[in-house]
Copies of this chain bind each other. A is one copy, B any other.
Amino acid sequence: MNCILLPASDIAPPYAQINSPVQIEHINKVLKLQVGATLKIGQLGGNLGTAVIDDMSPSNIQLREVQLDTPSPAKLEVTVILALPRPKVLRRLIMDMTALGVCHIILINSYRTQKSYWQSPLLMRLDEFVLEGLQQGVDTIAPRISLQKRFKPFVEDQLPSLITHDAIIAHPYSDLAFSQYLQQLPVESISSARVQRPDVVCIGAEGGWVDYEIELLCKQGCKAVNIGPRILRTEAAVNVILGQWLI
């Protein structure tokens, strides 16, 4: 946690309180802060700032001198369409995409998504993973997360309205290299080159997309791109691709 996010209901400047056992444990055991220490905090959906620890009990931390005057960082204006991954990696993927500032995450069914993944109890804990990602990435604005259990109807009926600019599919076996794709995007000057980007990025589960899925996505205007001869884990690919627009 690089900041402690609190709901608006626990903030009444210049005071606030922390009730979450996870946050209290982090403050005690990881940050090792005591009364009088300054803490980085944020209001969920609001600003970032600082507060001073006024009082601590095992179940509650009282804060004073609450200052919330820093806007959260700009979001990455991208919709990520992610084939629902193994539950084991779902938490880290949601955390990472949230920390990277992704606006909208769509978890979608795919040929290589096992049916059991949709029954995972972790799908009920997405808000928790988002909170972890926000506190990691020092952001206060949660991404929107939607679940789409039916691939074809989603791609045919809903995907086109999400693409206002351009859409790509991460596909190790595409002939079009990501760098070539970027060169095709309209660029006005070198300094603005980094701003040019697709607004939809489709990333497969382990094993990637099958040909039928690639075809259906391409029919709606997506372009399949490879990121070189090396094939990365889904988590690594998400960070490599989205990270391009972070730095």
Contacts of A138 in B (CB 8 A): 229-231
Whether A73 is near chain B, meaning CB under 8 Å from some CB there, is yes
Proximity bits, A164-194, B CB within 8 Å = 1, else 0: 0000000010000111000000000010001
Instruction: Evaluate contact between B236 and A179: CB separation under 8 angstroms.
Output: no
Residue of B nearest to A208 (CB): B2
Do A231 and B73 form a contact, CB below 8 Å, given A236-B100, A240-B239, A247-B178? Answer: no
Question: Bound state CA distance, A101 and B229, in angstroms?
Answer: 10
Instruction: Evaluate contact between A137 and B247: CB separation under 8 angstroms.
Output: no
By a beta-carbon cutoff of 8 Å, the part of chain A in contact with chain B is 2, 73, 92, 95-96, 99-101, 136-139, 172, 177-179, 190, 194, 227-233, 235-236, 239-241, 243-244, 246-247
Given contacts A101-B230, A240-B240, A244-B247, 6 further A-B contacts (CB under 8 A): A92-B233, A100-B230, A228-B246, A239-B239, A241-B243, A243-B243
